[in-house]
Amino acid sequence: MECEAERRPLGVFECQLCALTAPYSYVGQQPPGTQSVVGLGHSAHRHHFLPRSLLEESYVMRDPFTPDKDRFLILGSRCGSCGRLVCVGPECSLFYSKRFCLPCVRENIDAFPQEIQQDLEKRKVPSKRPASQPGSRT
């Protein structure tokens, strides 16, 4: 039987780019008792099963789409460059050795391999802030 503390969320994850919110039950690289982990972003219908140990410290929640209590969804993690909390959705971030928010990727595009640059070019996602608004970084 699952104890009540395991069912209660630790907090609410909020992507600082798209404002996706979801309660998370674990932060780290090895969710307890997991059989598999599923990536979740805006394209939640496309589930990606991942190994039990994650490549980055992630915010995860129990998968509400299955009765299997050992399945988790990855909500997101911190950007490896600016520290922003971002979801795993392709509109907000990408993973290349660690997670990066798309604004940081665009700022430092030349530091990424050609494949990443081409992938970003294919996405053609407009910036979420108006062009007239100055950036928060100098």
Q: What is the pLDDT of residues 53-104, one digit of tens each?
A: 788 899 999 888 888 877 889 999 999 999 999 999 999 999 998 999 999 9
First-residue to last-residue Cα distance in the chain = 53
Q: Which of 12 and 4 is assigned the larger pLDDT?
A: 12
Q: Which residues in 49-115 belong to E strands, given as ranges? A: 49-50, 58-62, 71-78, 85-87, 93-96, 98-101
Q: Which residues contact 21 (CB under 8 A, 6 or more apart)?
A: 12, 13, 14, 15
Single pTM value for the model? 0.70
2-11, 48-57, 65-74, 109-118: the lowest-pLDDT one? 2-11
Q: What is the pLDDT of residues 19-54, one digit of tens each?
A: 999 999 999 988 877 655 555 554 444 444 445 578
Tokens found for residue 69: 């209590």
